[in-house]
Amino acid sequence: MRKRGHRLLALGLAALLAFQTPVTVAAENEVQTETVAEEGQETQQVQETEPPSEEQENLPEGQAQENTEYTENNSENEDREQTSYTWKYAPDIGWQLWSVDENNEESLCSPGVYALEDGIYYIKIYRVQEEDPDGEEVWQPVLAKGSAEITEETPVISEQNTEGKLAAGTYYYFYELDDTKENAHPEQGRYLTDTWVHPGEDPTVWYFANADGLLENPQNHAGPMQNEEGYFYLDAQGKSQAGTFEVDGIRYTYDGNGNRYQIRDGWQKENETWYYIENGSPVTGWKQIQRSWYYLDPADGSMKTGFFQDSSGTLYYTDAAGRMLSGNGWKQIRGNWYWVQPSGAIARGWKQNRGTWYYLDAESGAMHTGWYQVNGVWYYSDGSGAMMANGWLRHGGSWYYLTNSGSMHTGWLNQGGTWYYLNPQNGAMQIGWSKIGGNWYYFDGSGRMQSGGWLRLGNVWYYLTDSGAMYTGWICLNRTWYCLDPTSGAMQTGWYQIHGTWYYSNGSGAMQTGWLAQSGSWYYLNPNGAALTGWQVIGGTWYYFYPNCSMAANTWIDNYYVNSNGAWVDSTVVMPDTLYNYRFPTTATKKGLQVKDGMVDDAASLGVKHAVINIVLNSAAAGSGIEYVYEGKTYYMNTTYIHELDRQIKELHNNGMVITAVIVLQWDYQKQDLILPGARTYGYNLYGWNTVETEGRKHLEAICSFLARRYTAPDMGVVNWVCGNEVNAWKDYHYCGNISFDQYMEYYAQAYQVLYNSVKHAYTNGRIYMSIDHTWTYNRRANCYTSKAVLDCFAQLMKTKGIPDWMIAFHPYPSPELQSDFWNKTLNVIDSENSPIITMANLSYFTDYVKKNYGEGRRIILSECGFTSVSNGNEKQDVQAAAIAYGYYLAEANDMVDSFVVHRQVDHSVETAQGFYLGLWTCKPGALETAYTKKQAYDVFKYMDTRYYMTYTRFAFPLIQKTSWEQAVPGFNPAKFT
């Protein structure tokens, strides 16, 4: 193929145009070449694809050999004589042009425009297959018909072997095939000029080929067009449109296929819309035709039907045929009534007819019925549209009042001396209570306001002033005081509190004064009705009234004893006057341990700050031994047991440990008087205390008094006292027999009160704890109450008994208990104050609950924290050690917790038989609880609150999936240890 810029004689454009004969043809967008195939040969179609510019310049590799020869011959013989051309048909490609040189050698012509003797032809390149055997795309030059874009680089080659140029642009090439001729081939080739052509396959798209043969921009020819095929109306893309268009002031309908029709005068329907034509143009505005008026849209002449406003804004109605509705009166249209004036205008707004007022909608003109609003005022019209006025109206179950003008009344209304109130929002007459201007009023079933005296509604009394306003607060009637609730106005009966002071009114509402007996307790109300609290002198005698106002009886109050009548008894025989008042001790950290007797030195070596021991009441009591006089009676304490306690407690105290004593009661056949009567059955771990029988209660009080006086002494230092153990597990650890929950809790509260009174008399700052375990809102077994239910009930009982400073001993075991990795939460451990189980993982939700409901002064000790070193038969010493460290740091960061106490110093064989290996030491084989070897947890426990804490605890990070204690524990403060 010849390169661009090869020296050739240029043919002028005029010479090329000499071949042209303008003809109008249907164009093909994708070039189609047609031929008459030989007999049995299918007609082939070749699709035009514009190749890259390089491919237009050089045939790709894989081209036929003769093409290559043609290129070489042309480049070597620039001055040869005229070359001849011939057409050949390739079945799979189409018509191809071949050049024949002086040696009769044929070469395939390359793409371009060829000016031959019989016409001009356009050869383009065509991809005949995706790839040849060598993997290359195969392209062939082929004769094209239809529109083709010519660039400035497209060559024009003549039979004289010269090159020229066409102006750049799109041309439409055409040729003929004479099937009647022998050896038919393309002839009379040309590009079309001064005619309309189809640039692509769509026969509805037209482009104009100008005198130079260039296809012009269709935007320049948008609008009406006429050619040999008919009349068309083209859009900006040259596409023929179907529809009605105005041409030179005359409307025509085009079908898009070359036909158009002039629209005649009179009614014409286009696209389901009617127009009225005069002189070829649509009429607009009002038009009278055969005594009927029609309205034709001023914008497009379309006939209006239904409701509409004309250019003056007047409302009219025309029927489906466009005829204006007229008359002078009511007309019903589509179920609504309208007032039509003689001019046909639809009336709007207020309309009076024969003395009756009607309201016609301001927008639609439809007559209103029922409620409607005009200029912010409500009116009501009956079913005929007549406006109602001057009286009561019942509608939808409510009453309304309409004024003389028909407007709905709101607010206060006086009718014949009776007051009514109409709701300001909806006008409905009020019945029952209604708050108006900050005061409450009551209206009976007829809407009449009540006033001036007592009003009874159900079982509640109210007092209404002469103005009808409900009275609140204190009121004195006939020298009797009554209290009306400041919020509801209800007359108070029974106990009620005002500004922190309690009062009592009898069933008639009369406020009481003086002595009052209620529910087995005595109260005293001063002349103003206020119930007294604290120490009070009444009739020359001292009495003590708890914060709940009940009188104390048969108990000690601040080192003073009050008898069964509540009177203070000045006696030193009943209870000795020894009372300790030293400061409650503090410690550097919260690390604690239930210290095994005989291993105090080991505990001291471990740096224990808080020590827990158990004291068994029935072991402390004896038939002979240490004498103790309580309320005039001598009781005896077990000398051996007490001396063992003396030694153990003093050792712990001398090593600087804060001591907690857990007070429990076990089975003892000889001392059943200490056990509740209904629980005296052998076989339970711990038992409820006998507070119901006088002798049994006195015996318990004597033991607790003895223990408190002896061990709260400054040289002993037992400052924390726990009443019982996990009392929510009623059958396992506080058996009271088969009784109700409320009775069970009352018995426990009484036992707590016995211990509380004993400790507080001996040591003012002593702390007494109730005990619960981790089953917070979930009953894991039938013999267990939820800790939350026990705690909440206990708190209420303490309030009743006047004990404000009760504390909590909590046991946050993991769940399940045989898996120490509490940080891997199970389904019953959730981040909520209603979690089924509370472990160290969600302890903060428990402490937050306590703080929120019972105050931050409610101190908590974690008096039993156990983590096993064996799980499912596998040694897990690292997990146990990690759990102890992690749990301890969580406790240190919790401001409600005072101590974190590890349950076992040494594994106990009874517990290991059940899978619980809770100690810091292993147990010697065959022994009950003898230290044998130290576990990994030993050193972790020892150093976790020292400056070496990271050395011994960093192993835990991969286990708990954290990178630091700061990340694991919110509020962790390393400075406390370093």
Which residues neighbour 600 within 8 Å (Cβ) at sequence distance 6 or greater? 648, 651, 652, 655
- Of 500, 541, 548, 506, which Cα lies nearest the Cα of 523? 548
Identify whether residues 238 and 271 lie together within a single domain.
no
Residue 309's DSSP bridge partners are 315
Q: What is the pLDDT of residues 813-866, one digit of tens each?
A: 999 999 999 999 999 999 999 999 999 999 999 999 999 999 888 999 999 999
- What are the structure tokens assigned to 832, written together? 């909520």
Which residues neighbour 3 within 8 Å (Cβ) at sequence distance 6 or greater? 57, 75
Which residues neighbour 874 within 8 Å (Cβ) at sequence distance 6 or greater? none
Assess whether pLDDT exceeds 50 at residue 67: no
Identify whether residues 258 and 271 lie together within a single domain.
no
Please report where in the chains the tokens 């005990």 appear, as a residue: 771
How buried is 117 (Cβ within 10 angstroms: 0-12 exposed, 13-18 middle, 19+ buried)? exposed
- Structure confidence at residue 654 (pLDDT): 95
- Structure confidence at residue 163 (pLDDT): 67
Assess whether pLDDT exceeds 50 at residue 49: no
- Of 864, 843, 854, which Cα lies nearest the Cα of 807? 854
Residue 321 lies in a domain: yes
Identify whether residues 43 and 82 lie together within a single domain.
yes
Identify whether residues 157 and 289 lie together within a single domain.
no
Q: The CATH number of the domain where 235 resides is what?
A: 2.10.270.10
Identify whether residues 56 and 188 lie together within a single domain.
yes
What integer is the mean pLDDT of 14-33? 35
Provide the mean pLDDT of the chain: 86
Distance, in Å, from the CA atom of 27 to the CA atom of 174, rounded to the nearest integer, reads 9
Torsion angle of C-alpha atoms 633, 636, 637, 643, degrees rounded to 10: 110
Higher pLDDT, 695 or 560: 695
Residue 872 lies in a domain: no
- Structure confidence at residue 294 (pLDDT): 95
How buried is 863 (Cβ within 10 angstroms: 0-12 exposed, 13-18 middle, 19+ buried)? buried
- What are the structure tokens assigned to 625, written together? 């031994």
Identify whether residues 55 and 173 lie together within a single domain.
yes
Identify whether residues 54 and 187 lie together within a single domain.
yes
Identify whether residues 119 and 202 lie together within a single domain.
yes
Residue 720 lies in a domain: no
Residue 541 lies in a domain: yes
Residue 104 lies in a domain: yes
Strand 621-630 vs strand 610-616: parallel, antiparallel, or unpaired?
Answer: unpaired
What integer is the mean pLDDT of 126-139? 72
Higher pLDDT, 214 or 696: 696
What integer is the mean pLDDT of 710-725? 95
Which range marks the domain in which residue 533 is found? 515-569
Residue 793 lies in a domain: no
- Structure confidence at residue 315 (pLDDT): 94
- Structure confidence at residue 8 (pLDDT): 25
Q: Which of 72-76, 583-587, 614-618 has the highest mean pLDDT?
A: 614-618
Residue 172 lies in a domain: yes
What integer is the mean pLDDT of 228-239? 92
Q: What is the DSSP string of 739-763?
A: --HHHHHHHHHHHHHHHHHHHHHHB
Which residues neighbour 279 within 8 Å (Cβ) at sequence distance 6 or greater? 265
Identify whether residues 242 and 308 lie together within a single domain.
no
Identify whether residues 129 and 242 lie together within a single domain.
no
Contact present, 916 and 817 (Cβ < 8 Å):
yes
Query: How sure is the predictor about 483, in pLDDT bands with cuts at 50, 70 and 90?
Result: very high
- What 3 state SS string does 129-188 have? ECCCCCCCCEEEEEEECEEEEECCCCCEEECCCCEECCCCEEEEEEEEECCCCCCCCEEE
Structural domains of the chain, count: 4
Identify whether residues 198 and 296 lie together within a single domain.
no
What integer is the mean pLDDT of 364-391? 93
Query: How sure is the predictor about 560, in pLDDT bands with cuts at 50, 70 and 90?
Result: confident
- Structure confidence at residue 574 (pLDDT): 35
Identify whether residues 258 and 277 lie together within a single domain.
no
Lowest mean pLDDT among 45-59, 272-286, 340-354: 45-59
Assess whether pLDDT exceeds 80 at residue 673: yes
The Cβ of residue 900 has, within 10 Å, a number of other Cβ atoms equal to 27
- Structure confidence at residue 44 (pLDDT): 35
- Structure confidence at residue 709 (pLDDT): 93
- Structure confidence at residue 162 (pLDDT): 63
Residue 90 lies in a domain: yes
Lowest mean pLDDT among 177-181, 231-235, 969-973: 177-181
